[in-house]
Structures are given as C-alpha cells and as structure tokens.
Amino acid sequence: MSNGQTGIPATIRDVAKEVGCSIATVSSVLNGRGRISDATKEKVREACKKLGYFPNAAGRNLRNRTTENIGILFYPSCARIFSNIFYSEMMAGLEEELTKANYNLLLAGYDISTNSSDLPKFIREGSVDGVIMLGGCPDEFKQQLADVPLPFLLLDTNLEGMPVDSIITDGFQAELMAVDYLVKQGHRRIVMFRHRHENYNEEERGKGFLAGAKRHGLENEADVIRVATNDEAVEKIKELMKDETPVTAITAVNDDMAVDIMHRLQLDGINVPDDISIIGFDDIKLARDAIPPLTTIAIDKKRIGKEGAETILSRIKDPGQPTRKIMIPTSLVVRESVKSL
C-alpha cells in the first residue's frame, strides 16, 4: 500500500508523475472512462502496481458522494447480537454478498434510550450508503431510523403497515405447521410460551399458534403464555400438567427457550418427550445437540442475510422502487422431542 520507502500511500499524482501523464488520464484508465491508448493504459497499470497505488476512499467519497459502506445496527448493542448464535449465519450471508459487491460493513450498537436521541455516528456523519437493522427492537426506534433519508432495511423484523424494506420469516405459517404436527401426533391440550416483551417475531408466532389451535377446534384447550424467565415457564408447565386434562405438549418461541425449559424439566424428573412434548423455533445448533434432539422450525438464516444484502443493494441503486417485504419460508424439522400419543 505504500511505496515501501515512506509508509505514505501513493496518490494518483504520484502515478501520473511516474507515467509522465496527467492525473485525469490515470483516473480515466482506472475507471475505464474516455478513450485512452492501449500503450498508456498499460503504462498506468504498471505504475499503479509499482507504487502500490489504490484510490483513496475519502477522496473518492467526497467527490462521488458515495461511501461503499453499509452500516449494520444492533439493538441494544453489538454484544447482544454476537452472543446470539442465531444471528451469526445471517451475518455470514450479509458479509458474503456485501463484500462481493465491494462494500464494507460498518458496525454499531444502537440504543436510543442511552444516547438520548442521537443517531449512530456513522449515520450522522454520512459514512454509509445504507443501513441494516438487525433483529428486534422497539417500533419507535425503527421508525426513527426509517425517517433518515438513507436506504434502510429491517432484517428479521418488520414495521407493519410502513413502507420499509424488510426480510422476515413467516412465523405465523410456521406455528400453524407446528400445531398441525402436534395435533396429528395426538396432542389436544397444547400451550405456547413466549417472552413478555413486544417483538414482531414473537407476536407473529403467537398468532400463528392460536390460529392453528382454532383451525382444529382447540381454541379452548390452547393458550399463549408470556413469561419473564424460563423458570416461570417451568413452574407453569408443572401446574398445567396437573390439570384435569393435562397439557401434553408445548411450543416455545425459540430454541433457546425450548432447550432450556427441556433441561430444567428433566432436572426435575420430567421426561421429554415421554411426559411432555416440546417444539422449538429457529433450528440453531443447540437444538441439534440437545438431549433429546429438539423438534423445531428451521429457518434458512444465511438466506435471510443474502436476501437482505441483495435488497439494500438494489434500493441503493434505485431508491424509488416500491417497498419490499420478503418472506423467507420455514420448515418443520422432526427430531425426538415430540411423542406420538
């Protein structure tokens, strides 16, 4: 990257001097513009290689009003995302496609509540051509971001009724499938557990579960219970198993919760799936490795990332195009945590 002597990067001027031409010519060659003789083209390319010249990003940004950076926003902080395996594959898909398209990834946590109402530095200072928000966060935050005059995408969440691009999974349809499967296995009294906080995915999955129960005329036997901790869920399950018509199967809003509940039940001597059946959601590694392996809803997480990359790139290219809401399909993965009655 330097000429090996000074440690100072070569500029387009250095290249021009080396070749003995103008900087306009160098730029033209590098950007494939204008009619330049093959001879000079060759000389310019050689000089670039010799001097280790690459166009400086800041200079180009200033001139082009384009940064070739995409901002990735995590709520409330990067830590939350990094420690969540679910997002790792999404990030992999994003990185692969964005890098291929010659974009850098800029990272930031975003917690509006701590930083008063400041937008992330890279948005304020115009360091990105587009912003991707990863995962769930309060609608108010999403809206604030959507109002920024910059291509914006929600990944694995949605802002319903709003013209904002988003890549989402069909949690409603998926829970419908899960209920169908449980009913087919002979379960009649089923309950879903989700967290207390508001979250697009949790709502959708909850609605899907209820709709599934209703479809089988089970609306009185089914319920969605919101808990603050998994322990709370475990206690509730124990109660429900003592009912006159005991619960025989539960669904958890994600694998993390499902596996943890399963382990806690087992520690209390309740066998899965013999005493109670469990279905998760996400199909993360944890689900495959659990004992017993967890029956769950699989999502193609890498594909979410790839579709996301394609979507924001496309919007950068053509900002006027209609909003996209892309729905990634899911599938039921049958393993060993559900018993056939």
- Residue closer to its own copies, measured from CB, 74 or 172: 74
Those residues whose C-beta lies under 8 Å from the C-beta of residue 10, and which sit 6 or more positions away, are 2, 3, 51, 52, 53
Q: How far is the CB of 59 from DNA (least distance, A)?
A: 3
For DNA, which is the closer residue by CB, 11 or 314? 11
Asked if 291 interacts with its own copies (CB under 8 A), we say: yes
Site for DNA in 27-66 (CB under 7 A): 27-28, 30-31, 33-37, 39-40, 53-56, 58-60, 62-65
- Out of 24, 79, 148, 341, the only residue in the binding site for DNA (CB under 7 A) is 24
User: Does residue 128 belong to the site contacting DNA (CB under 7 A)?
Assistant: no
196 binds DNA (CB under 7 A): no
Q: Which of its own copies, DNA, none lies near 85, with the C-beta cut-off 5 to 8 A by kind?
A: its own copies
Exposed, middle or buried, 68 (CB in 10 Å: 0-12/13-18/19+)?
middle
Residue 34's binding partner among its own copies, DNA, none (Cβ under 5 to 8 angstroms by kind) is DNA
- Shortest reach from residue 134's CB to DNA, in Å: 28
Q: Minimum CB separation from its own copies for residue 108, in Å?
A: 7
> What's the rounded Cα separation, in Å, for the pair 286 and 281?
11
Stretch that binds its own copies, among 37-45, 118-126, 200-208, 211-219 (CB under 8 A): 118-126
Closest listed residue to residue 41, CA positions, set 64, 15, 63, 2: 15
Instruction: Give min distance, CB of 231 to its own copies, in A.
Output: 15
User: Residue 51, by phi and psi: left (phi above 0), alpha (psi -120 to 50) or beta?
Assistant: alpha
Measure Cα distances from 210 to 149, 179, 183, 213, 227 in Å: 38, 9, 13, 5, 17
215 is in the binding site of which of DNA, its own copies, none (Cβ under 5 to 8 A by kind)?
A: none
Amino acid at 97: E
Contact call for residues 333 and 290 (beta carbons, < 8 A)? no
State the maximum Cα–Cα separation within the chain, in Å, rounded to a whole number.
Answer: 92
Q: Which does 341 bind (CB under 5 to 8 A by kind): DNA, its own copies, none?
A: none
Tell me, by CB under 7 A, how many residues bind DNA. 31
Contact flag: residue 82 with its own copies (CB under 8 A) = yes
In the complex, the residues that contact its own copies under the rule CB under 8 A are: 1-2, 7-9, 54-62, 67-69, 72, 77-79, 82-83, 85, 87-89, 91-92, 95-96, 99, 102, 104-109, 119, 121-127, 148-149, 263, 289, 291
In the complex, the residues that contact DNA under the rule CB under 7 A are: 11-13, 20-25, 27-28, 30-31, 33-37, 39-40, 53-56, 58-60, 62-65
